[in-house]
Amino acid sequence: MQSRALLIFYALIAILSLCSGALAAQAQEKTAVSRPDFPFAIHILIFEGVEEEPVLGIIPGLEREFGFPVVVLDARPAVDPEWKDPERNQYQALRVLEAATAWVPENSARFLAFFPEDLYIGQMGFVFGLAHPDGRGAVISQFRLLSGEKKRQTQRLYGEALHELGHTFGLEHCPAQAQCVMRVARTVQAADARPNVFEPACRQKLDAAIRDLKSELIQKQTAKGKSAETGVQEKEEKSSEK
């Protein structure tokens, strides 16, 4: 029964790949899906130089919290020196985010890009991460988050991933006293003190946003399937005319 479900899932993936055209990035996909219950995934993009172990450690939690399979892309894009501000010796978060967006395949529900260097935006001294203004994904810098013992590093990275993905689902910052991962954390200590959970109000908004996104994606998929079918019919009609 389970293998049948898997087969159906792989068939769906195959159909999706056909529908969305031969995207190079898709061929590089490594399916690290533990709960293949939805054909659209949260994709993880790992830049060259990133420590992978703590990133892989947060996958089960992300799948649990967001209800999407999480897929790690095989590509390891290099860090482009063009993104760096030589005076600040930091990288422009927005440019990294734009570059990451170009690597992510079409059947992406959301993406998270992990970056090895320090990031900044505008006048801020640094940022742990940045979510995309149009909500498609986020970039997270490991630079300041990987101190202390391994377990702590993974928890910190996980909290930052929840926070940034929360933004992509329309969540705003929670008040400083809220027991919520959507609290602002400007220091590593503040990030460690923040619980890795969405308190009920944020959870409710998040669940609604996830529901909306899932139905939107399914509609998109159905529309694509239909236009592909129509295309085949038209071709058949044309060939029979000959």
* Residue 161 engages Zn ion in binding (rule: CB under 5 A): no
Q: Which segment (17-25, 133-141, 151-159, 177-185) binds Zn ion by CB under 5 A?
A: 177-185
Contact residue for Zn ion among 113, 202, 206, 213 (CB under 5 A) = 202
Identity of the amino acid at 33: V
Sheet of strand 129-131: strand arrangement = 29-30, 70-73, 41-46, 108-115, 137-141, 129-131
* Residue 99 engages Zn ion in binding (rule: CB under 5 A): no
Q: Which segment (43-51, 78-86, 199-207, 213-221) binds Zn ion by CB under 5 A?
A: 199-207
Active-site amino acid positions: 164
* Residue 180 engages Zn ion in binding (rule: CB under 5 A): yes
Based on CB atoms, which residue is closest to Zn ion, 92 or 221?
92
Based on CB atoms, which residue is closest to Zn ion, 51 or 199?
199
Largest CA distance in the chain: 73
Based on CB atoms, which residue is closest to Zn ion, 99 or 182?
182
Identity of the amino acid at 121: I
Helix (H, G, I), strand (E, B), or coil: what is residue 144?
A: coil
- The nearest distance, CB 26 to Zn ion, in angstroms, is 30
By the 8 A CB rule, do 20 and 106 touch? yes
**Token output for 162:** 């929840």
* Residue 138 engages Zn ion in binding (rule: CB under 5 A): no
Map tokens 């702590």 to a residue. Answer: 152
* Residue 162 engages Zn ion in binding (rule: CB under 5 A): no
Sheet of strand 90-92: strand arrangement = 84-85, 90-92, 119-120
Q: Which segment (77-85, 104-112, 153-161, 180-188) binds Zn ion by CB under 5 A?
A: 180-188
Query: What is the total count of residues that contact Zn ion (CB under 5 A)?
Result: 5
Q: Which segment (3-11, 115-123, 153-161, 202-210) binds Zn ion by CB under 5 A?
A: 202-210
- The nearest distance, CB 83 to Zn ion, in angstroms, is 21
Contact residue for Zn ion among 51, 192, 199, 207 (CB under 5 A) = 199
Identity of the amino acid at 166: G
By the 8 A CB rule, do 188 and 147 touch? yes
DSSP state of 51: -
By the 8 A CB rule, do 156 and 191 touch? yes
* Residue 165 engages Zn ion in binding (rule: CB under 5 A): no
* Residue 127 engages Zn ion in binding (rule: CB under 5 A): no
* Residue 182 engages Zn ion in binding (rule: CB under 5 A): yes
**Token output for 131:** 């979510």
Rounded Cα distance, 97 and 139, in Å: 6
* Residue 93 engages Zn ion in binding (rule: CB under 5 A): no
Q: Which residues lie near Zn ion (CB under 5 A)?
A: 174, 180, 182, 199, 202
